[in-house]
Structure 1
Amino acid sequence: MANRPVIKALLIDLSGTIHTDTQPIPMSSHAIGRLRAASLPFRFCSNMSKESTAALRDRLDKMGIQTHDNEVWTSIGAVNALLRAKGLTRPFILASETAEEECLRGIHDDQALPHDSVVVTFAPAQLNYVALNTAFRVLMGEHHTQRGQQRPDYPLIATHRARYIGDSDGALSLGLGPFVAALENATGRTAEIVGKPERKFFELVLNSLGPELQDREGVVAVIGDDIQTDLGDGAVELGFWRVLVRSGKYRDGDESRAGIRPPDEVCDSFASFVESLLDK
Structure 2
Amino acid sequence: MPTPRPVIRAILIDLSGTLHIGNTPTPRAIEALQRLRKAAVPFRFCSNTSKESTAALRRRLTSMGFEVKSDSNKEEMWTSIGAVHRRLEDMGLKRPYFLLSDSAREECLSMAENNAKIPYDSVVIGLAPSLFTYEHLNTAFRVLVNEHETRRSSSSKTVIPLIATHKAKYIESADGVLSLGPGPFVTALENASGLQAEIVGKPSRRFFQMVIDNLQSEELEHGMNGGVGEIAVIGDDVEADLGEGAIELGLWRILVKTGKYRPGDESRPGLKPPDEMCESFAVFVDSFLAAPVD
Fold match, TM over 0.5? yes
Secondary structure, counterpart of 1:105 in structure 2: helix
- Separation of aligned partners in 2, 1:40 and 1:25: 20
Q: Please report how far the alpha carbon of residue 213 of structure 1 lies from its aligned counterpart in structure 2 after TM superposition.
A: 3.6
The residue type equivalent to 2:261 in the other structure is: Y
Distance in 1 between residues matched to 2:249 and 2:184, nearest whole Å = 27
| TM-superposed deviation, 1:208 | 1.6
Q: Encode CA deviations 1:173-230: one digit per residue, 9 max, x unaligned.
A: 1110000000001110110000000000001111221141463366100000000000
Q: Could you tell me which amino acid in structure 2 is paired with residue 179 of structure 1?
A: F
User: SS of the counterpart of 2:179?
Assistant: strand
Per-residue deviation, 1:112: 2.6
In the alignment, which of 165, 173, 181 is matched to residue 167 of structure 1? Answer: 173
Corresponding residue for residue 118 of structure 2: 113
Residue of structure 2 in register with 1:6 after alignment: 7
Matched, 1:239 2:239: no
- Whether the aligned pair in 2 keeps the contact of 1:197 and 1:230 (CA below 8 Å) is yes
Which residue of 212, 219, 240 corresponds with 1:212? Answer: 219
In structure 1, the partner of 2:101 is: 96
The Cα shift of 1:255 comes to: 0.6
1: CA distance, partners of 2:203 / 2:253? 12
Please name the residue that 2:161 is paired with.
Answer: 155
One-letter identity of the residue aligned with 1:37: K
**Paired residue for 1:29?**
30
Report which stretch shifted further, 126-135 or 48-57. 126-135
What is the alpha-carbon distance in structure 2 between the residues aligned to residue 169 and residue 24 of structure 1?
A: 13
Q: Distance in 2 between matches of 1:107 and 1:90?
A: 5
In structure 2, C-alpha distance between the alignment counterparts of 1:12 and 1:77, rounded to whole Å: 16
Q: Distance in 2 between matches of 1:15 and 1:205?
A: 18
The gaps in structure 1 that reach 5 residues or longer are none
Aligned with 1:7: secondary structure? Answer: coil
Provide the rounded CA distance (Å) in 2 between the counterparts of 1:216 and 1:60: 27
- 1:145 and 2:152 correspond: yes
Alignment of 1:44-123 (within 5 A): 44-69=45-70, 70-123=75-128
Q: Which residue of 2 aligns with 1:128?
A: 133
- Asked if the contact 2:96/2:112 (under 8 Å) is kept, the reply is no
Of 238, 256, 268, 2:267 maps to 256
Q: 1:207 to 1:111 in 2, by over 3 A?
A: farther
Alpha-carbon offset, residue 140 of structure 1: 1.3
Secondary structure of 2:110's match? Answer: coil
1:120, 1:202 → 2: CA distance?
20
Once residues 105 and 152 of structure 1 are traced to their aligned partners in structure 2, the CA distance between those partners, rounded to angstroms, is: 23
Structure 2 residue corresponding to 1:187, chosen from 184, 190, 193:
193
Q: Which moved more, 1:52-61 or 1:93-102?
A: 93-102
Shift of residue 105, structure 1, vs aligned partner? 2.8
CA gap 1:146/1:114 in 2 versus in 1, 3 angstroms: closer
Higher deviation after alignment, 104-113 or 248-257:
104-113
Secondary structure at the counterpart of residue 10 of structure 2 = strand
One-letter amino acid of the counterpart of residue 145, structure 1: R
Q: Distance in 2 between matches of 1:59 and 1:125?
A: 21
Of the candidates 276, 280, 285, which is equivalent to residue 269 of structure 1?
A: 280
Q: In the alignment, is the contact (CA less than 8 A) between 1:9 and 1:213 conserved in 2?
A: no
- The separation in 2 between residues aligned to 1:169 and 1:241, in whole angstroms, is 30
Q: Distance in 2 between matches of 1:127 and 1:61?
A: 30
The 3-state SS of whatever aligns with 2:97 is strand
Q: Give the distance between the partners of 1:61 and 1:41, measured in 2 at CA.
A: 19
Can you give the 5+ residue segments of structure 2 that lack an aligned partner in the other structure?
A: none
Across the aligned residues of Structure 1 and Structure 2, the Cα RMSD in angstroms comes to 1.5
- Partners of 1:110 and 1:7 lie apart in 2 by 49
Q: Secondary structure at the match of 1:104?
A: helix
Higher mean C-alpha displacement, 215-224 vs 41-50: 215-224
* Alignment partner, residue 230 of structure 1: 241
Paired-residue identity, %: 56
Separation in 2, partners of 1:226, 1:153? 32
What is the letter of the counterpart of residue 153 of structure 1?
V
Question: Residue 176 of structure 1: which of 174, 182, 197 is its match?
Answer: 182
Question: CA offset at residue 128 of structure 1?
Answer: 1.3
Structure 1 residue 95: Cα displacement = 1.0
